[in-house]
Amino acid sequence: MSYARRALIVAWKDLVVERRSKETLNSLLFFSLALLFVFQFTLGPDRERLAAVLPGVLWLGFILSGVLGLGRTFLVERDNDCWEALLLAPGDKSAVYVGKLAASLALMLVVEAIVLALFTLFFNVDLWPVLPGLALVIVLGTLGIAAVGALFAAMTAQVRTRELLFPVLLLPVLVPVLLGTVKATEALLLREPLTSVAHWWQLLVAADVVYVVVGLLTFDVILEG
Amino acid sequence: MVTVLGWLAAVAIVVGLAMGFGMAPREVTQGNVQRIMYLHVPAVWVAYLAFTVGFVASVVYLARRREAADRLAHAACEVGTVFLGVNIATGAIWGKPTWGTWWTWDARLTSVAVVFVMFLAYLLLRQAVEDRERGARYAAVLGIVAALNIPLVHFSVYWWRTLHQPPSLLKPGASTMPPIILAALLVNFGALAILGAYFIARRARVLAGEAEAMA
Amino acid sequence: MPDNWGFVAAAYGLAAVVFGGYWRWLRGRERELAALRAGRTIRSHPPSRTAHPRPEPGSRAPLQ
Mean pLDDT of A67-84: 80
> Which tens digits make up the pLDDT trace of A137-158?
999 999 999 999 999 999 998 8
User: Residue C24: inside a domain, yes or no?
Assistant: yes
What's the angle, vertex CA A20, arms to CA A19 and CA A22, rounded to 5?
Answer: 65
Residues 3..42 of C with a Cβ closer than 8 Å to B: which?
3-5, 7-8, 10-12, 14-15, 18-19, 22-23, 26, 29-30, 33, 36-37
* Alpha-carbon torsion (B147, B110, A148, A224), positive or negative: positive
Using CA coordinates, name the residue in chain A closest to B65.
A221
CA A139/CA B8 separation, integer angstroms: 53
Domain locations in chain B? Answer: 2-19+32-164+178-214
pLDDT tens-place string over residues A118-140: 888 887 788 888 889 899 999 99
Give the count of beta carbons closer than 10 Å to the beta carbon of residue B178.
12
How many whole angstroms separate alpha carbon A134 and alpha carbon A188? 7
- Give the mean pLDDT of chain B: 87
- Of the candidate ranges A45-54, A126-135, B163-172, the one whose mean pLDDT is the lowest: B163-172
Would you say residue A214 has pLDDT above 60?
A: yes
Are the Cβ atoms of C10 and B93 closer than 8 angstroms? Answer: yes
* Facing residue for C22 by CB, picked from B39, B40, B82: B82
Greater confidence (A35 vs B86) lies with: B86
Mean pLDDT, range B48-59, rounded to an integer: 97
Question: Residue A42 gets which letter from DSSP?
Answer: H
Q: What is the pLDDT of residue C47?
A: 54
Separation between Cα atoms, residue B111 and residue B91, nearest integer Å: 13
Interchain CB distance below 8 Å, B153 and A211: no
Chain-chain contact of A210 with B124 (C-beta, under 8 angstroms): no
Beta carbons of A214 and B148 less than 8 Å apart: yes
Q: Is A108 exposed, middle or buried (0-12, 13-18, 19+ CB in 10 A)?
A: buried
> Rounded to an integer, what distance in angstroms lies between the CA atom of residue B133 and that of residue A154?
16
Residue B117: phi and psi, rounded to 5, are: -65, -40
Which is it for the CA torsion B202, B203, B204, B207, positive or negative? positive
Taking 70 as the threshold, does the pLDDT of residue B174 lie above it? no
Whether C33 is covered by a domain: the verdict is yes
Binning pLDDT at 50, 70 and 90, where does residue B24 land? confident
Chain A residues 133-192 with CB within 8 Å of chain B: 148, 151-152, 155, 158-161, 165, 168-169, 172-173, 175-176, 179-180, 183
> What secondary structure does DSSP assign to A121-171, as a single string?
HHHT---GGGHHHHHHHHHHHHHHHHHHHHHHHHHHTTSTTHHHHHHHHHH
A208 vs B contacts (CB less than 8 Å): none
At B57 the pLDDT is 97
Kindly report, residue by residue over C28-40, the tens digit of the pLDDT.
999 999 998 888 7
**Facing residue for C4 by CB, picked from B33, B203, B213:** B33
pLDDT tens digits for A153-201? 999 988 888 888 999 999 999 999 999 999 999 988 888 888 888 889 9
Q: Do A203 and B149 touch (CB under 8 A)?
A: no
Q: Tell me whether residues C18 and B82 touch, CB distance under 8 A.
A: yes
Q: Is the pLDDT of residue A71 over 50?
A: yes
Q: How many domains does chain C have?
A: 1
Work out the average pLDDT over A18-43: 78
B82 chain-C contacts, CB cut-off 8 A:
18-19, 22
Chain C environment of B32 (Cβ under 8 Å) = 3-5, 8
Chains that touch B (3 or more CB pairs under 8 A): A, C
* pTM for this predicted structure: 0.86
Domain that holds residue C18: 8-39
- Is there a domain that residue C54 lies in? no
Q: In what helix (H) or strand (E) does residue A9 lie, and over which residues does it extend?
A: helix A3-21
Report how far residue B206's alpha carbon sits from residue C32's, in angstroms, rounded to the nearest whole number.
Answer: 10
The CA-based angle B127-B128-B131, given to 5 degrees, is 90
Q: How much is the pLDDT for B149?
A: 95
Chain A residue with minimal CA distance to B117?
Answer: A172
